[in-house]
Amino acid sequence: MPPKSVYLDNAATTRPEQEVIAAMMDALEQRWGNPSSIHEAGRKARVRVEEARRQVTDLMRCRPEEIVFTSGGTEANNLAILGTLGRVQGQKTHIITAATEHRAVLDTVKWCGEHGFETTVLPVGSDGRLDPADVKKAIRPSTALVSVMFVNNEIGTIHDIAEIGRITREAGVIFHTDAVQGFGMIPFTSAELNADLVSVSSHKIYGPKGIGALYVRQGIRLEPRIHGGHQERGLRTGTENTVGIVGFGKACELCREKIDSEPARIRSLRDRLETEIIESIDDVEILGSREHRAPGILNCSFKGCEGEALLVGLDMQGIYIATGSACESGEAGASHVPMALGLSRADAQASLRFSFGRYNTNEDIDTVMAVLPGIVKRLRQMSPIMP
Ligand SMILES: Cc1ncc(COP(=O)(O)O)c(C=O)c1O
């Protein structure tokens, strides 16, 4: 990355902390044994894996035996959904989710719909929030699972997970939440969320990629998706990614140390950028609920601009942001999230996500505001829809 670049794409991924890298180097050099081996090299690796599991549970405040390490949020979501459906018997063939979920949930649910399950994808309001009453109405005797994300990755909207969890528990339906975006930023316990299954990922919290976890509440039984061993209590077999797990554990420990102060600092940066954009650029719409929103995410639609062109214009100035989610950039058309909020295709395509993290500073906002109004103005001059 050039020295003067500004990274505002922390919802896509974060730069690993130095302490995380050091812990991973130590694991590579000193803890290279197979954690399942009973000799000393194996035992040394096992100790670190279990220490990392405790670091994860210290942040999530759950029991070590409730954590299953996976290759990340996508696999955790797949294990939660497919693993639940693999266990449910007979008439339990219905899944409920929401229109603004991450593709790792939406596409998995879609696949289930193509393989004999009934699916309900609930709409959200113009503020991006799902009404828990709609979940209640959608539950049928055949409902096996409800999957609703904690924080939306594109607009930052926080869903009322605790209430949805209360409704599902009352109805005897298993409840999964994809908490990849809230984890490490918004303090929660799986018990507070009333969730049976919670997905988290390491690379969104300054840890390495390719590692994450699924919280599986004690008593919930899942069908494994990968066969061939005994690791992770048979739920995610294959030799453990020791180095990734150690890095993830360290990242959780650092988040826990910072969780009382970091979100407030990040929120004030985000709010400053939002205020300055509104004050200096006309015809900007802030997407999603402003009240129920994660501290680090700001999504704006710049009427008359092409989001991709804005992104390229900022990229040329060393400012890295996103249109839609990282997984969707590169796909033609508008992201499903602004479309689900009721935006026109043109306004949805005009949206940009700025996502803040640990390393951002006020100077980053100065840099953005020094160039963004000019780029928007130039693009609008070329726009056929602006007066
Ligand atoms: C809400 C959400 N769920 C799931 C994922 C996927 O996580 P991973 O990249 O660890 O597979 C992401 C990452 O983009 C995300 O933002």
Global confidence as pTM: 0.96
Please report which residue ranges of the chain form alpha helices under DSSP H.
Answer: 18-30, 40-60, 73-85, 103-114, 132-138, 161-171, 190-193, 242-258, 262-280, 307-316, 336-340, 345-349, 362-382
CA of residue 37 to ligand 1 center, whole Å? 32
Atom of ligand 1 nearest to the CA of 209: 10
Is residue 207 in contact with ligand 1, taking CB distance under 6 Å?
Answer: no
Q: What does the pLDDT read at residue 326?
A: 47
Neighbours of 142 (CB within 10 A): 14
- DSSP symbols for 33-93: S-TT--SHHHHHHHHHHHHHHHHHHHHHTS-GGGEEEESSHHHHHHHHHHHHHTT--TT--
Q: What does the pLDDT read at residue 329?
A: 46
Q: Which residue from 13, 71, 102, 335 has its CB within 8 A of the most atoms of ligand 1, so it is best to mutate? A: 102
Q: What is the mean pLDDT of residues 199-215?
A: 98
pLDDT at residue 332 is higher than 80: no
Atom of ligand 1 nearest to the CA of 210: 10
Is residue 98 in contact with ligand 1, taking CB distance under 6 Å?
Answer: no
Between 387 and 107, name the one with better pLDDT: 107
Q: Which of 252, 300, 305, 327 is catalytic?
A: 327
CATH 3.90.1150.10 domain extents, the chain: 6-14+260-382
CA of residue 102 to ligand 1 center, whole Å? 7
pLDDT at residue 367 is higher than 90: yes
Q: What does the pLDDT read at residue 109?
A: 98
DSSP class of residue 4 equals T
CA of residue 32 to ligand 1 center, whole Å? 28
Neighbours of 354 (CB within 10 A): 29
Between 361 and 384, name the one with better pLDDT: 361
Is residue 176 in contact with ligand 1, taking CB distance under 6 Å?
Answer: no
CA of residue 354 to ligand 1 center, whole Å? 17
Q: What does the pLDDT read at residue 92?
A: 86
- Which residue CA neighbors atom 4 of ligand 1 most closely? 73
Of 3.20.20.80, 3.40.50.1820, 3.30.70.1400, 3.90.1150.10, which CATH number belongs to 6-14+260-382? 3.90.1150.10
- Which residue CA neighbors atom 8 of ligand 1 most closely? 73
CA of residue 44 to ligand 1 center, whole Å? 31
pLDDT-based confidence at 354, cuts 50/70/90?
very high
Is residue 324 in contact with ligand 1, taking CB distance under 6 Å?
Answer: no
Share of the chain above pLDDT 90, in %: 91
- Which residue CA neighbors atom 14 of ligand 1 most closely? 12
Q: What does the pLDDT read at residue 164?
A: 98
- The CATH code that applies to domain 18-258 is 3.40.640.10
Is residue 153 in contact with ligand 1, taking CB distance under 6 Å?
Answer: yes
CATH 3.40.640.10 domain extents, the chain: 18-258
- Residue 354: strand pairing partners: 298
Q: What does the pLDDT read at residue 190?
A: 82
Are 192 and 165 spatial neighbours (Cβ–Cβ below 8 Å)?
no
Average pLDDT, the chain: 95
Is residue 102 in contact with ligand 1, taking CB distance under 6 Å?
Answer: yes
Nearest in space to 194 (alpha carbons), one of 223, 226, 233, 220:
220
Is residue 156 in contact with ligand 1, taking CB distance under 6 Å?
Answer: no
User: Is 211 strand, coil or helix?
Assistant: coil
**pLDDT tens string 159-204:** 999 999 999 999 999 999 999 999 999 998 888 999 999 999 999 9
Q: What is the mean pLDDT of residues 89-102?
A: 92
pLDDT-based confidence at 60, cuts 50/70/90?
very high
Is residue 178 in contact with ligand 1, taking CB distance under 6 Å?
Answer: yes
pLDDT-based confidence at 325, cuts 50/70/90?
very low
Is residue 214 in contact with ligand 1, taking CB distance under 6 Å?
Answer: no
Strand order in the sheet with 67-70: 67-70, 212-216, 197-201, 174-178, 143-147, 94-98, 118-122
- Which residue CA neighbors atom 5 of ligand 1 most closely? 73
Q: What does the pLDDT read at residue 330?
A: 47
Between 323 and 20, name the one with better pLDDT: 20
User: How far apart are the C-alpha atoms of 209 and 21, rounded to whole Å?
Assistant: 12
Q: Which residue from 13, 181, 353 has its CB within 8 A of the most atoms of ligand 1, so it is best to mutate? A: 181
To the query of whether residue 327 is one of the catalytic residues in this protein, the response is yes
Is residue 104 in contact with ligand 1, taking CB distance under 6 Å?
Answer: yes
Distances (CA, A) of 349 to 126, 155, 190: 16, 14, 35
Q: What does the pLDDT read at residue 387?
A: 66
Q: What is the mean pLDDT of residues 131-137?
A: 98
